[in-house]
Amino acid sequence: MINATACNKVGDKGIPEGLSFWLDFLRGISALLVVFSHIRIHFLGFWIERPEASMPDWLLRSFYALTGLGHEAVIVFFVLSGFLVGTKFFPGSVYRKDEFSRYLVNRLARIWTVLIPAILISVIVSYCLYYNLPENAFFHIEPCVPSAINVISNIFFLNEGYTETVCSNKPAWSIHSEMHYYILWPLILFGFFSKKISKSAIICSLLAIFIILSLMVFDTVDKKNTLLLFPIWIAGIVVSKYKLLNIPLWILGPILVVTMVLPSLININDFWPLGDYIIAFFVVVFLIRAKISKPINFLKNLVEWLSKISFSLYMTHMIVIIVLKNFLQINFSYETKGAFIDLNLIMVLLGIFVLSILVAYIFYLAFESNTHKTRLMLNNILRKSSL
């Protein structure tokens, strides 16, 4: 999850102002969609578990569709990440020996500054709930007590493919995939697209093959499969290679929305991952057109702020959801799944949504804003190890 505003260059070219705005916009909205999705799932359940509601069936179905775009939002994240990170390396280019190590330090600093404290806080909350709540209390989907090995494997991106994603913070699954893309892309370029056969090219090729084979063996074939989603990340790189489109954003935007909502309205699981690829295609088309667009000035500050905290929001909102759901059930006997959808329930859900954003902002100030310090620390460790 890369902050668009933190990257003022793509390759050797600056990002146009309009494109920068829409990168922030897509990133911020995608984070909100993930939060909406998890709030609805944990408080109202899936469509098959839908509660009664004082609204027409078509309106209830629309509500469930619009609050069920968490996975689709992650697809958008992957395209944005591919554009902002993947374009740091191109086939056939020549790079200095220290360039990859510096790149890796930057990526680790960006991820670990948020991932480590978010995982640890979620684990602490998980244990506190597990040992202090009554036996009949709601607790995630099932009792959750992450082991030390589970936590460590998540911090080092070995979840999903090799171990379970820590049960107290399931959104961390995508971090596993993203970090693999960060590593695989330059290894593939240095190894298979090198202009000459060298020792380093052979090592890069072997490492890339080893990682790919490991994922093929251990990664489950589902919507979170790292290799099947890799083309979506690579698709983001295409944005930097193509130029203008004459189709206006007010047409491309609704088309993108339709491609994201459609999987929630009709059952197209048999066609996966085609649906994800179609979403990625229209995100790419939208961003290519956004290169010549203008920002919406009255939204600019809000969009930039939301983009800035989006990674923190992504990694902390489940903590808020879990704590509040238990609090409501234990202290107010508040039944959630199967609850009648009325104004009171809507206000509760909106309150959880707002509190999730507030907690994310506090978390951002406490941790994510210090990414540069993590980067300096990792660089110092790397420098000392090379002496």
Question: Around Cβ 184, how many Cβ atoms within 10 Å?
Answer: 20
Domain ranges of the chain: 4-354+362-385
Report pLDDT digits (tens) over 249-298.
Answer: 999 999 999 999 987 777 666 677 888 999 999 999 999 999 999 999 99
Over the range 125-145, which residues count as b (16 or more CB within 10 Å of their CB) and which as e? bbeebbeebeeeebbbeeebe
Residue-by-residue DSSP string for 352-370: HHHHHHHHHHHHHHHTGGG
* DSSP secondary structure code for residue 83 in this structure: I
Report pLDDT digits (tens) over 234-245.
Answer: 999 999 888 777
Quick one: average pLDDT of 155-177?
91
CB burial of residue 199 (10 Å; 0-12, 13-18, 19+): exposed
**Which residues lie closer than 8 Å to 111 by C-beta, 6 or more apart?**
1, 175, 178, 179
- Higher-confidence residue: 193 or 91? 193
Is residue 13 scored above 60 in pLDDT? no
Is residue 162 scored above 50 in pLDDT? yes
pLDDT category of residue 3 using cuts at 50, 70 and 90: very low
Q: How high is the pLDDT of residue 137?
A: 58
375 vs 188: CA distance, rounded Å: 25
**What Å distances lie between residue 275 and 46, 195, 220, 294, 323, CA to CA?**
20, 36, 19, 29, 34
